[in-house]
Structure formats: structure tokens, C-alpha cells
Amino acid sequence: MNSATEKTIVLTPTAGSVYGFGWRKMKTSFLDLFLIIIIVAAVYVPLGMIESLDGNETPGGVLLKMFSFAYLVMLLMPLDTGASWVFLKGVRGEKIDVQDMFSVFENYINVVLAGLLAGTIIGLGMVFLLVPGIIFACRLAFVRYLVMERKLEPVEAVKESWRLTKGHANQIFWTGCLAFWAFLAGLLCFGVGVIVAWMWVRCAFASMYYAVSELERSRSQATLSAAEPAPQA
């Protein structure tokens, strides 16, 4: 598909649209995105190994849990956010490089704090009532993109994600639901397809943010154009 044809595609913030768009973009940058996923998966491995150790409530077990949490927050979460940034660049048709995912360390503190804030809000919603947790997860789905793209501070990123997702949370929810079937299909493909499914789902969520952002931008431009005074005859 050439660039002229690509520009004619209208990306709408619906689950079906972002999966279709994400699939096309994934094929375009497959090897780069595949390598990103492999790096993220490799970073997940030590966490899984740590959590598999059963230390119960012994001092050693408590230390392992503390180390696991620190590893998750200080390394895994930032690199995962960096991976999301690369996927966003990919779906926008920008030139991507594996090194782009490490640009997360240029805004490291805000990335970590934004992840902690969003994760705590979602976690509290899940603990007390499942439905609020799901709602919070949908409304805060854009935090990682906002803190990378706009360099927003944690509180601003949470507020802006809440604003941007207004009216789109149901489609974000369905995007998450379709992820289950994508991963299931990947498992049926002898498990190898899970990697492709993971790439596809990440492309879909990045495409959702891209679609909502473009819709917001077009609305802002239309508002500015309407506010401009008509030319004098």
C-alpha cells in the first residue's frame, strides 16, 4: 500500500477500525515491532522467575516481593511504556528505531510516577468493585502515550487521558475484549501466534489513541476556523 492510498484511510476510534488499521501498520513495520516485543518479553522473564519463588512470609520472601515490585516499577514499566511509544510512532507511519523505546529514560521520573498513579487508581477500582476498575482502566488507557508524546506530568496525564477518552471508553473496552480472542487465536497457532497477537493488540491500542487524538485535533481546527472572522467583501 503506497503512501497516497494510506492517507485516504479514515481511522475512526472504534474497536473494529483500530484492529484493521493496526494490522496493516503491523505488517508494514513487522520486524522492528517484533524486535521490540522480544525485548519486552525478555525483560518480563526475570520478573516471572522471581515471582515463581515461594518464600511465603519469611524475611527472604518479603525481600523477594520488594525486589519484584521495584523491578516492575523501576524497569519493566518504563520499558513497556517506551515500547508503546514505538508502536504509536509505527501506527502513525513515522520512521521507527528500536532505540526509540529507550527514550523513555529522558522522561523517566514522570513515566514512573504516571504509571504508579494510573496503576494505583485502576488497582483500587479492581479491589473494591470490579466494574469501576474496568472503567478506570479504559479512561486511563492513554496515560502512557500522553506522558511520552506530550511530556505531561503524572497528574496532567491522568486528567488529559480522562478527558480524551470521554465518549470513547466503550470502544476502548471492546478493544480490550477483542484482545482476548486475538491471544486465544495465537495460542491455537501452536503458541507462536501469541507474539503476533501481542504485537497486533499493541498496534490496536496505539491506533485508538492515534484516532482519538486526530479526531480531537480536527475538532479543534474546525472550532478555530469557525471563530475566525469572515473576510471583508
Q: What is the mean pLDDT of residues 22-44?
A: 95
Task: Determine what percent of the chain is predicted with pLDDT higher than 90.
Answer: 69
CB 21 within 8 A of CB 91: yes
CB 111 within 8 A of CB 81: yes
Q: Please indicate, yes or no, if residue 127 is contained in any of the structural domains.
A: yes
Q: What is the mean pLDDT of residues 117-134?
A: 91
Q: Is the pLDDT of residue 215 over 60?
A: yes
Domain ranges, residue 75 = 33-214
Does this model's pTM top 0.75? yes
Q: Is the pLDDT of residue 8 over 60?
A: no
Q: What's the confidence (pLDDT) of residue 1?
A: 42
Q: What's the confidence (pLDDT) of residue 223?
A: 77
Q: What's the confidence (pLDDT) of residue 4?
A: 40
Q: What is the mean pLDDT of residues 52-64?
A: 71
Higher pLDDT residue, 4 or 135?
A: 135
CB 101 within 8 A of CB 36: yes
- Measured in whole angstroms, the distance separating CA 52 from the mean position of its chain's CA atoms is 27
Higher pLDDT residue, 202 or 222?
A: 202
Q: Please indicate, yes or no, if residue 233 is contained in any of the structural domains.
A: no
Higher pLDDT residue, 229 or 172?
A: 172
pLDDT tens for 60-115 read 777 888 888 889 999 999 999 999 999 999 999 999 999 999 999 999 999 999 99
Q: Please indicate, yes or no, if residue 131 is contained in any of the structural domains.
A: yes
pLDDT band at 229 (very low <50, low <70, confident <90, very high): low
pLDDT tens for 159-190 read 999 999 999 999 999 999 999 999 999 988 87
Q: Round to whole Å and give the CA distance between 127 and 133.
A: 8
Q: Please indicate, yes or no, if residue 4 is contained in any of the structural domains.
A: no
Cell of 168: 470513547
Counting the structural domains of the chain, the total is 1
Q: Please indicate, yes or no, if residue 202 is contained in any of the structural domains.
A: yes
Residue showing cell 493488540: 201
Q: Please indicate, yes or no, if residue 225 is contained in any of the structural domains.
A: no
Higher pLDDT residue, 9 or 112?
A: 112
Q: What's the confidence (pLDDT) of residue 7?
A: 43
**What does pLDDT average to over the chain?**
88
Q: Round to whole Å and give the CA distance between 196 and 182.
A: 9
Q: What is the mean pLDDT of residues 40-44?
A: 92
Q: What is the mean pLDDT of residues 5-9?
A: 42
Q: Please indicate, yes or no, if residue 222 is contained in any of the structural domains.
A: no
Nearest to 64 by CA among 83, 48, 78: 48
Q: Please indicate, yes or no, if residue 21 is contained in any of the structural domains.
A: no
Q: Is the pLDDT of residue 3 over 50?
A: no
